[in-house]
Every structure is written in structure tokens, then in C-alpha cells.
Amino acid sequence: MDMTRALPTESQWDLLDEYDLNACFDATWIDTEDVEEIAGRFRADPGSGIPCDLKTAFRLADDCGQDTLVWIGTHSPGWSVAITVGGAFTVREETSARGRLIITYWHMAELGEINDEGMIYYQDGEFMGTVGVEGFREYVHDLDAFANFQEEVENYLILAGRVTGRFLDRDWFAVPRVLYRIPNGAWPRILR
């Protein structure tokens, strides 16, 4: 199937609302299905993995303290996804070292704010750019300019679905994934 023009069957925005992810949605797509590898790249505590559904992940996130909790699992063939459900996590260039492609996206709907103006791409340890990066233009050519925040979010999630071969849907939300803890201090603080 040609994903360069594919569209989801359901509103991506509405799904985020339904599953309580829209207030703050922080997602990373990684071009591997190896969940333990991803946890290691994110410096998660390997012994902290708890298989669970999203509802349980949110319940456990209430007790995470200063640590970050990331729900990691398969997204589509060849791709996994990591959703931050507690704390804050900033993907760094080195998480994509040794040939990995990583796509990150973060927004806070309640503030109408999108981090770094959309999706960010890292490959093989280097920052590659944002939405217009070479190699991804074919996936955005038919997406309309957005008139409001909701349309902007929708378009970014359509773009992620096109690149990874899968859009968000109810089956996606029903799949259990593994909740990992990234200890506070696992990544040195970035000073800007």
C-alpha cells in the first residue's frame, strides 16, 4: 500500500482525547521492534519493565516521583513507539546512533503549544531536521496548511502514520506495551 497519500479512518485528535493523551502527548517512533534495545537507548532501568495497558501505565505514572515513565512497544512492522506517560523525556541525538531512525513529536493541547514546531527526525546519531527534511516531503505534499491547533496536530500524526505505516486506531490503544522507568539523572541536564 502506498502510504504517501493514505489517511486514517478516525480522527487522530479525537483518539488522543478519548484515551486521555491530548493534554500532553509526547511520542517517539523508532525503526526497530526490539523493545529492550529502545529501553536501553533511552537509559531506562532494564529491571523496571512492567507489561501493561495504557490505563495501567497512567495509574502507575501517578507514583513515578522524579523519574520518567515511558510506555514502549510495537507500533507497526519494523517500528516501535514510546509514549511518555509520567515525567518528562527529551530524545537526544545519540539515541539514534548505529543506524536508527527516530521521529519525535510532543504537544500540550491545553497550552496550544507544539514543541520545536512539529516532528523532529534523528538518524544515526545526528539531528536531521523537522517536517520538511529530505526523504519525508513525499508524505506531506497533500496535507493542507492548518488553520488551527487541532488541524496541526492531526496533520503531524497523519505524517507519523504515513512514515511508519500505521495510524493510531482503537486496536493500537488496546495493545499492551512495556512501561519502563528512566531514572532521574540518567541523562545530564541540557543547558540552553
Per-residue pLDDT 10s for the chain (192 aa) are 788 889 999 999 999 999 999 888 999 999 999 999 999 999 998 889 999 999 999 988 876 667 889 999 999 999 999 999 988 777 878 888 888 998 999 888 878 888 766 788 888 988 887 766 666 777 877 777 667 888 888 988 999 999 999 999 999 999 999 999 998 877 765 433
Grid-cell match 506517560, residue found: 85
What pLDDT, on a 0 to 100 scale, did the predictor assign at position 112? 81
Grid-cell match 516532528, residue found: 119
DSSP states along 52-81: E-HHHHHHHHTT-TTSEEEEEEEEETTEEE
What pLDDT, on a 0 to 100 scale, did the predictor assign at position 117? 64
What pLDDT, on a 0 to 100 scale, did the predictor assign at position 64? 63
84: β partners: 70
Query: What is the pTM (predicted TM-score) of this model?
Result: 0.89
Residue 20 neighbours by CB distance under 10 Å: 13
Note the pLDDT tens digit of each residue in 96-116: 888 899 899 988 887 888 876
